[in-house]
Amino acid sequence: MGMRIGYARVSSRGQKLDVQIDRLADCERVFYEKASGATAKDRPELQKALDYVRDEDVFVVTKLDRLARSVVDLANIIKRLQRKNVDLVVLDQGIDTTTLYGRLQFNILAAIGEFERELIKERSTEDRVRAVARGVKFGAKPKLTKKEIEELIRDYEEPGCSKKEIAEHYGISRSSVYRLYAENRQQYV
């Protein structure tokens, strides 16, 4: 059997960690922080704790909302723990993946998180398709106007005009000069 690793978090400086830390007293190591980040990546101590846990360890938190900020965030953390063969115990919700019932709860939560992630992805794709149909253009705005591109083509074809000078003149890279020329030379011939 591995170690019990605890994690405690409060979201604002005014809140105290004492109650959570007291409840995690049976853990060999406790990571804690004051952070309100939306994802696990925004919480450095959680990252350290997730990196620290090893095969057969038990990761302990007092409440799910101390661990994850959304179902999707929880699903990502769950996957990470599962890959490392680490059990999860959530004291207030009675989730304990060292038991059969706890593993069932854990897997249901993971499935819900995956379902929610797929719904978000599907809605985002549909919204993007509708936006494109309305004429919305995604990506960075072109640095040069059509007139400037036309001038760039003429400069490019001018004998003795260096590509470096063209790039400096238009405030773009030399590779952009070559790309813009290749993409647009047929239009401005």
56 phi and psi angles, rounded to 5 deg? 75, 5
Residues sharing a CB contact under 8 Å with residue 62, sequence separation 6 or more, in sequence order: 8, 19, 20, 23, 24, 90, 91, 92
Distance between CA 95 and CA 89 in Å, rounded?
Answer: 5
Q: What is the dihedral of CA 44, 45, 49, 50, to 10 degrees?
A: -30
Identify the sign of the CA torsion 60, 65, 70, 71. Answer: positive
Label residue 186 by pLDDT band (50, 70, 90): confident
pLDDT tens, position by position, 119-172:
888 999 999 899 889 988 888 777 888 899 999 998 999 888 899 999 999 999
Domain segments of the chain: what residues? 4-115, 146-184
- What pTM, to 2 d.p., does this model score? 0.59
Q: For residue 95, which of 60, 52, 49, 56 has the smallest C-alpha distance?
A: 60
- Domain at 4-115: CATH architecture: 3-Layer(aba) Sandwich (3.40)
Quick check: is 11 catalytic?
yes
pLDDT tens, position by position, 46-105:
999 999 999 999 999 999 888 887 777 887 888 899 899 999 999 998 889 889 988 888
pLDDT at residue 110 above 80? Answer: no
